[in-house]
Amino acid sequence: MNTLGNIFTVTSFGESHGSYVGCVIDGCPAGLKLNIEAIQEQVDRRKTNQSFYTTSRNETDEIEILSGVFENTTSGAPICIVIKNKDAKSKDYDSLRNLYRPNHADFTNEMKYGIRDYLGGGRSSIRVTAPLVAAGEIANQLLQKETKLQTRAFVSQIGELTLSNPYDLTSLNLDSVDESEVRCPDVDLSNKILELLKQVKEEGDTLGGVITCLIQHVPVGLGEPIFGKLQAELGKAMLSINTVKGFEYGYGFASASMKGSEYNDAFMLEKDVIKTSTNRSGGIQGGISNGMDIYFNVAFKPISSIQQKQQSINKQNEIIEFSIDGRHDVCAVPRAVPIVEAYTHIVLADAFLQNKISRL
Amino acid sequence: MNTLGNIFTVTSFGESHGSYVGCVIDGCPAGLKLNIEAIQEQVDRRKTNQSFYTTSRNETDEIEILSGVFENTTSGAPICIVIKNKDAKSKDYDSLRNLYRPNHADFTNEMKYGIRDYLGGGRSSIRVTAPLVAAGEIANQLLQKETKLQTRAFVSQIGELTLSNPYDLTSLNLDSVDESEVRCPDVDLSNKILELLKQVKEEGDTLGGVITCLIQHVPVGLGEPIFGKLQAELGKAMLSINTVKGFEYGYGFASASMKGSEYNDAFMLEKDVIKTSTNRSGGIQGGISNGMDIYFNVAFKPISSIQQKQQSINKQNEIIEFSIDGRHDVCAVPRAVPIVEAYTHIVLADAFLQNKISRL
Amino acid sequence: MNTLGNIFTVTSFGESHGSYVGCVIDGCPAGLKLNIEAIQEQVDRRKTNQSFYTTSRNETDEIEILSGVFENTTSGAPICIVIKNKDAKSKDYDSLRNLYRPNHADFTNEMKYGIRDYLGGGRSSIRVTAPLVAAGEIANQLLQKETKLQTRAFVSQIGELTLSNPYDLTSLNLDSVDESEVRCPDVDLSNKILELLKQVKEEGDTLGGVITCLIQHVPVGLGEPIFGKLQAELGKAMLSINTVKGFEYGYGFASASMKGSEYNDAFMLEKDVIKTSTNRSGGIQGGISNGMDIYFNVAFKPISSIQQKQQSINKQNEIIEFSIDGRHDVCAVPRAVPIVEAYTHIVLADAFLQNKISRL
Amino acid sequence: MNTLGNIFTVTSFGESHGSYVGCVIDGCPAGLKLNIEAIQEQVDRRKTNQSFYTTSRNETDEIEILSGVFENTTSGAPICIVIKNKDAKSKDYDSLRNLYRPNHADFTNEMKYGIRDYLGGGRSSIRVTAPLVAAGEIANQLLQKETKLQTRAFVSQIGELTLSNPYDLTSLNLDSVDESEVRCPDVDLSNKILELLKQVKEEGDTLGGVITCLIQHVPVGLGEPIFGKLQAELGKAMLSINTVKGFEYGYGFASASMKGSEYNDAFMLEKDVIKTSTNRSGGIQGGISNGMDIYFNVAFKPISSIQQKQQSINKQNEIIEFSIDGRHDVCAVPRAVPIVEAYTHIVLADAFLQNKISRL
């Protein structure tokens, strides 16, 4: 229940308060030369304390690979990656240990397990994704070696500020995503978002947003026709990210109001290769990639830890008024960009290996 | 790769042209007294030829239970359900056998498997969901026996016609969904949709739409914290339905433009039971049900088989102009309502059994 | 829980009394041209009423392939195979419906599931293996297409009659196994066994035995180092056959009394190929095939349905004296030969596909 | 492929030369109060350098629990256990890095993965079982809490020295197994084995043996009827231990030469509880535990690292004469006793949880 993938699998473990967070990758083929620095770089993209609007907690997030890699090359054995928790100030949480924070997992975890790991959200902390970003980058390096596939995610909406044309992705300079402090490749929009975040931070409030992900040069044939549809696996992965409330691919919810004659993507030939003249399908037909670009949107709700005063209930069924200190993210969406990419890579590497044995 | 669920699992088999479509349920506990008629009724709700806007093909869809049920009670053994394909007129498809129909799975299936089952879409036909609806009703009967949970899905949008207030679900009379010819409980909207469908049928076109699903009286504790989040399993299941392009739960994409202070659901006491005063979360927090109503939207693109002339490419890379005969659905969304409910039940039954062994 | 295999998976369903027994194969690659007759032949090798010592029940065991095969070629979709139960005379079992027959699964099934499918042993009948033999032959045809691997199982012991040299398999004419009425390739031993079976049949008794299986021309690299060891998967499969009590491979239990210096297989070169000069390991080292012959023994207890009077307990805790009619097998071991081969093929096809993605 | 179990799962990672060996337990219910000392004690029972006949390498094998345990109680989250490798003297192995040691996994691993982790056998070292013994003890503590089940394994044979009556287990004092330096509860046999081991050590040779395992007070109903038979899961687990060549339960291979009338276990009443008067079945009928004692034998070949001169082939296809230094075990069977128990507990805990949801 803590595993993503069927063949290339990633099993998560660890809590934010414990000694380590980590994961085990099983099913990564032997013989993949790893770029360890690139793995660390991806993990660092998710780090705290990168901007005024992110939490000021300091997490160094240094990865250690405990197994499965020999002389920098995957050996075929499971790869265990861990990251030490350094800033686990458990006393910070003492006042919250009996409180059910609104929209947090405190209440549901305690009801389900009869025990609550009250330190920093425990298992439900976004911190558990840090080693999964490392796993995603290993998946990416596998895909880079075997295909020309390229994945780029970016912020396309924060609050009510959004890209003017959500389907015109090729006009964006996606190589410069990280040059924007909010990972939005549209410079104007990026600046407006920064303004908005400053204002919302002052209000002690938080904001949601949308990440768009574009995958190009996808091999034809990834995904399975019924329950392993590529969009279903991608959707599942995205909905596994904390605070995600929605997933759509291709024309998504917009397609619901369209007619077939407006929506259908006609097949055509381009230099003897079969393509579609439009790509409202988002690169997947019948659950299987057709070689066109895959693109999807992921909706994030605003994070729950606001500085403003809130009321809640505690374990003793008492009504408690409280406010959460100012160390939290105003908006976690930009930090989620590498998570979206990582989970995408895990899904695609899994589908890629699966597809290798789908026909003689 | 053809299986939904982890403990209560449903494995699909069969193609639209073959002798049977079917599925195998494994992990259904012994001792569940089945209402076989109710299972058949659910399957019949998905049938063809129910209205002017659905395909005129006649499928009787009579279920046969081959195993796992003894004297109408589940025995703990796998339950195999099959439905005979009676209207498999393969000659209908002869003209299409080499054509890649736009937005169909013809092209991707042939590229992936090197073989195309050209008869009626084969494995990619929506017909393979018929036995899965039966499996979903068995899951539902398990949930009915063990919980008070109730699931009701309905059409909330067709084309551009949509419910005026998408979050005011309790004002709708959901017990009367099937009284509407388009499974929309808002009488006015239902009538408008019927008008629209008539007009679009005349144009030889098709329409997409949205199904909303409401689950009430959900036990607290369903779902897992990381990769088995309840929303991720529901999303995966919904995105496994043909033509689905998006999934959102709670406030979904709308939450992306909200502030934390607007979004958070405050905990409160109602007769000594902890509830939330609002329910923008949609009944799931941290991946686990909190006992409030779960609700989600599923976006369907218009179906691809339009009667209007279209161009495409065939196997020989020739450009072909063609049109598809008039037997197809104008809009498949109303027929998908029992599919949405069935997949929901499978996910919930699975989560329910999983949760039973999550603590001592 | 009713599935064998990880990638090439076979899910069993059906009971001896029901309308059908069957299975679903998932993960068989597309593009495998099937020899359907050869599949039926393997199933027929397992049939009843082949000799004086087998049950006189008549089962025609005709396979029907419901899905996954298009124009005799696998399409990549799940393959469902069913066999109709024709001789399900349920009245035969009326007298036994409350009795716990010794060494049968009556008692344990009823205790576990709270329900007993008393007709012919239901799920625990060896009859459920018939479609699995068909699945095994499909696995075999996959292996034949992709490798030179050859599997032959045979009876090496019935009662106390046993091969004089259990490790000298190459001196046996394994192509003639089916010429022996008891599937024992040693003509003398075969005749002695037939004599013994006649005598035991007259006594109203039954006999156990051993099946030896030899796999030649195995590709190097099948199996995984820790929990997917090839011997562990083979052992699990064999111990899944009704009445099997033991599994050993290579020198098996005999190796327990040996010294390392006596046991070790030295590596050597044979025409530039690395082989071992002896093969006490049985073709597997560290869980992975080394290219030498794999051989193993499977021990079968005598079947429980003896004609002699026995005492037992019924559901009402009464002591009952009873005897079972004469339609049962005196010895089921020869009929189990195709089952051993089939399960072996399923394990090997699974390991073969797994191995294809174990390295770049 | 590195995971044991279906619900209570244990995933192994790590190599003998790396920084850590470890495992992740997923599916352990929340609320289990752990006795951490008892876990360490079990791990210590497997340690090196316990006697003259075991390797003189010093491994301290101190377990660290990285996750899933909060205030000594399981939280429902995955439990990651690691053990640091302290005595990884890689230079010891330099001379062997290109050699294929007889009966080791060097050759098969290199052929399969194209890479050889030559340091101390890497992934194939028995050292990777150390954290699995810890996982087994957690499984045991779960079983202790929920059932009265008790597992005791012991050495019943080393070389040709064996228990006089292998089926008379109750006459043995199994509480004193660890008082014997070779974990054999028969004092005479234990002394003879020690003599034999001294002599074999002087010869620079090694010895195989048999471990017998007895499980008492087993709940009725563990195991599944077809592919999840309890004996199949136990057999698979045992055959996953390095150097194991055979598994038999109940009367095992001896039952092959018996008649049904000699073998059948009659049901009888003992204080209104249904038991069997004999127990040749070994406590499992139809794949499901019947409440009687489960017992099985596991055959171990002699370990391959003998001090005597041997010949082999290296990577360059050269014939090499070599001898292995004296630090290796003369006999690893006594050290495997806690491994047999641990794997048994994992299988039983898994079957126990599975069984909890097998009926309403």
SS (H, E, C) C39-99: HHHHHHHCCCCCCCCCCCCCCCCCEEECCCEECCEECCCCEEEEEECCCCCHHHHHHHCCE
- Hey, which chains touch A, using 3+ CB pairs under 8 Å? B, C, D
Contact B108 A221 (CB under 8 A): yes
List chain A domain ranges.
3-356
**Percent of the residues in chain A that have a pLDDT greater than 70, as a whole number:** 96
User: For C357, which of A32, A77, A356 is closest by C-beta distance?
Assistant: A356
Residue to mutate among C1, C7, C70, C73, with most B CBs inside 10 A, is C70
pLDDT tens per residue across span B69-101: 999 999 999 999 999 998 655 555 566 778 899
The β-bridge partners of D297 are D212, D248
- What is the average pLDDT across A212-240? 98
**For chain B, what is the mean pLDDT?**
93
How high is the pLDDT of residue B87?
A: 62
Contact D31 A73 (CB under 8 A): no
- In the predicted structure, residue A145 carries a pLDDT above the cut 80: yes
Contact A360 C7 (CB under 8 A): no
Is the Cβ–Cβ distance between C275 and C292 less than 8 Å?
yes
Most confident of B254-268, D98-112, D307-321: B254-268
How high is the pLDDT of residue D56?
A: 79
- In the predicted structure, residue A121 carries a pLDDT above the cut 90: no
- What is the average pLDDT across B223-235? 97
How high is the pLDDT of residue B327?
A: 74
How many C-beta neighbours within 10 Å does residue C322 have?
Answer: 14
User: For D32, which of B145, B353, B360 is closest by C-beta distance?
Assistant: B360
CA atoms within 13 A on the CB side of D54: 18
Distance of CA C352 to the CA centre of its chain: 19
How high is the pLDDT of residue D122?
A: 82
pLDDT tens per residue across span B115-132: 877 655 688 889 999 999
- In the predicted structure, residue A86 carries a pLDDT above the cut 90: no
Query: pLDDT class for D36, splitting at 50, 70, 90?
Result: very high
Query: pLDDT class for D65, splitting at 50, 70, 90?
Result: very high
- Look at the pTM and tell me if it is higher than 0.80: yes
> Which of chain D's residues have a Cβ under 8 Å away from the Cβ of A108?
none
- What is the average pLDDT across A38-45? 97
- In the predicted structure, residue A94 carries a pLDDT above the cut 70: no
> Which of chain C's residues have a Cβ under 8 Å away from the Cβ of D252?
245-246, 299
Is the Cβ–Cβ distance between D46 and D133 less than 8 Å?
yes
User: For D29, which of B76, B142, B359 is closest by C-beta distance?
Assistant: B359
- Please state, in angstroms and rounded to a whole number, the distance separating the CA atoms of residues B139 and A33: 46
Task: Give the residue from chain C lying closest to A145, CA to CA.
Answer: C360
Contact B245 A267 (CB under 8 A): no
- What is the average pLDDT across A220-244? 97
> Which of chain B's residues have a Cβ under 8 Å away from the Cβ of D67?
none
- Hey, which chains touch B, using 3+ CB pairs under 8 Å? A, C, D
Q: Residue B168 burial (CB < 10 Å; 0-12/13-18/19+)?
A: exposed
> Which of chain A's residues have a Cβ under 8 Å away from the Cβ of B162?
257
How high is the pLDDT of residue C326?
A: 63
Q: Residue C94 burial (CB < 10 Å; 0-12/13-18/19+)?
A: exposed
- What is the average pLDDT across A99-107? 91
Contact C108 D207 (CB under 8 A): no
**B105-123: b (≥16 Cβ within 10 Å) or e:** bbbbbbbbbbbbbbbbbbb
Query: pLDDT class for A56, splitting at 50, 70, 90?
Result: confident
DSSP state, A1? -
How high is the pLDDT of residue A311?
A: 87
Of B212-226, B264-278, D241-255, the least confident: B264-278
Where chain C has pLDDT below 50, the residues are none
Residue to mutate among B65, B117, B118, B124, with most C CBs inside 10 A, is B117
- Please state, in angstroms and rounded to a whole number, the distance separating the CA atoms of residues C206 and C185: 22
Of A195-204, A332-341, C50-59, the least confident: C50-59
Task: Give the residue from chain D lying closest to C159, CA to CA.
Answer: D257
How high is the pLDDT of residue A48?
A: 77
- Hey, which chains touch D, using 3+ CB pairs under 8 Å? A, B, C
Distance of CA C40 to the CA centre of its chain: 16
CATH number for the domain whose boundaries are D3-356 = 3.60.150.10
How high is the pLDDT of residue B55?
A: 83
How high is the pLDDT of residue A119?
A: 58
CA distance D209 to chain A (A): 29
How high is the pLDDT of residue C327?
A: 75
How high is the pLDDT of residue D17?
A: 81
How high is the pLDDT of residue C192?
A: 98
- In the predicted structure, residue A43 carries a pLDDT above the cut 60: yes
Interhelix angle C333-356/C130-146, rounded to 10 degrees, is 50
Of A306-310, B34-38, D252-256, the least confident: A306-310
- In the predicted structure, residue A166 carries a pLDDT above the cut 70: yes
Residue among D87, D98, D90 nearest D62 (CA): D87
- What is the average pLDDT across D43-57? 86
How high is the pLDDT of residue C325?
A: 73
- In the predicted structure, residue D120 carries a pLDDT above the cut 80: no
How high is the pLDDT of residue A250?
A: 98
Query: pLDDT class for B262, splitting at 50, 70, 90?
Result: very high
- In the predicted structure, residue A220 carries a pLDDT above the cut 70: yes
Secondary structure E strands in D189-279: 209-216, 244-249, 267-270, 273-276
Concatenating the DSSP letter of every residue in A32-54 gives -B--HHHHHHHHHHT-SSSSTTS
**Percent of the residues in chain A that have a pLDDT greater than 90, as a whole number:** 78
Residue among B140, B120, B108, B103 nearest B48 (CA): B120
Q: Interface of chain C against chain B, CB under 8 Å?
A: 1-3, 11-15, 18-22, 24, 26-27, 30-31, 64, 66-68, 70, 73, 75-80, 82, 112-115, 117, 122-123
Sheet order of strands, A99-100 included = A99-100, A310-314, A319-322
Residue A116, classed as helix, strand or coil, is coil
- Please state, in angstroms and rounded to a whole number, the distance separating the CA atoms of residues B67 and B75: 9
Interhelix angle D130-146/D36-45, rounded to 10 degrees, is 130
| Interface size, chain C vs chain D, as Cβ–Cβ contacts under 8 Å | 369
Contact D76 A26 (CB under 8 A): no
Contact A77 D13 (CB under 8 A): yes
Interhelix angle B36-45/B333-356, rounded to 10 degrees, is 140
How high is the pLDDT of residue C94?
A: 64
- In the predicted structure, residue A243 carries a pLDDT above the cut 80: yes
Contact C257 D282 (CB under 8 A): no
